[in-house]
Amino acid sequence: MHKYYELGETRVHALRGVSVEVRRSEFVAVMGASGSGKSTFMNILGCLDRPSSGRYLLEGVDVSQHDKRALALIRNQKIGFVFQGFNLLARTTALENTELPTLYSKVNKEERHRRAVEALEMVGLADRAEHFPSQMSGGQQQRVAVARALVNRPSILLADEPTGNLDSRTSVEIMEVFQDLNDKGLTIVMVTHEHDIAEFAKRVLVFRDGSIRKDEPVRGRPRAAEVLKTLPTLED
């Protein structure tokens, strides 16, 4: 897969012949310096952009030449997004924030509510369903963002620096959520600059100059639940 941009008479290459397979139920961390190509790679994975040449197969279907409307439908039905900024609506409860993606799907009100409750339960926030973002910690807000990404039951979860705004303990708590979801079969691809966060994944891709320079499994992968036992709580 190649991706390039035309700037006047200059062609700028963002991806140079990237070929990679992410299998169902993998947990992949993507790393690399600014300008390495990792963001372009993630944009294509998330159907936010298309390759200049080559193919992108999502569950066996080549989506690389789909038009914008078709890509929008795929994003809504197949892909969940989690960002560094939680992007929650301030005057909307956790439950209502979680329901938002279902408003663009053919899902009735009762089913929307049921799915949102289920998603909040999956991230351990069932008891915060009626709380507003201002009434929750950063970690709780990110859990709501994860629940929102799960509500349409996506095939893959794409996370862009999901712990970037969080303290060390809260970051590990989010990794615990990710590991639990991955254990249940959810495919996760996560961009991170933090090596200690990448170690919670099963596999690490390292980008440089538009190419994948390293693709290897994580050795001695820690379990977030065990790491949390060694970290001080906020009260400490």
Burial of 234 (0-12, 13-18, 19+ CB in 10 A): exposed
What is the count of structural domains for the chain? 1
Query: How many Å apart are CA 224 and CA 112, to the nearest integer?
Result: 31
CATH of the domain at 163: 3.40.50.300
Q: Helix 168-183 vs helix 138-150: angle between axes, to the nearest 10 degrees?
A: 20
Pairing between β-strand 203-208 and β-strand 27-31 as defined by DSSP bridges = parallel
Dihedral (Cα; 177, 178, 179, 183), 10-degree rounding: 100
Residue 113 falls within a domain, yes or no?
Answer: no
Domain holding 8, by residue range, is 2-88+154-229
Residue 148 falls within a domain, yes or no?
Answer: no
Query: How many Å apart are CA 15 and CA 27, to the nearest integer?
Result: 22
Residue 114 falls within a domain, yes or no?
Answer: no
Residue 119 falls within a domain, yes or no?
Answer: no
Residue 16 falls within a domain, yes or no?
Answer: yes
Residue 182 falls within a domain, yes or no?
Answer: yes
Tokens representing 121 are 């339960």
% of the chain beyond a pLDDT of 90: 91
Query: pLDDT digits over 70-84, tens only?
Result: 999 999 999 999 999
Residue 77 falls within a domain, yes or no?
Answer: yes
Residue 79 falls within a domain, yes or no?
Answer: yes
Query: pLDDT digits over 182-236, tens only?
Result: 999 999 999 999 999 999 999 999 999 999 999 999 999 999 999 999 998 765 4
Query: pLDDT digits over 47-77, tens only?
Result: 999 999 999 999 999 998 899 999 999 999 9
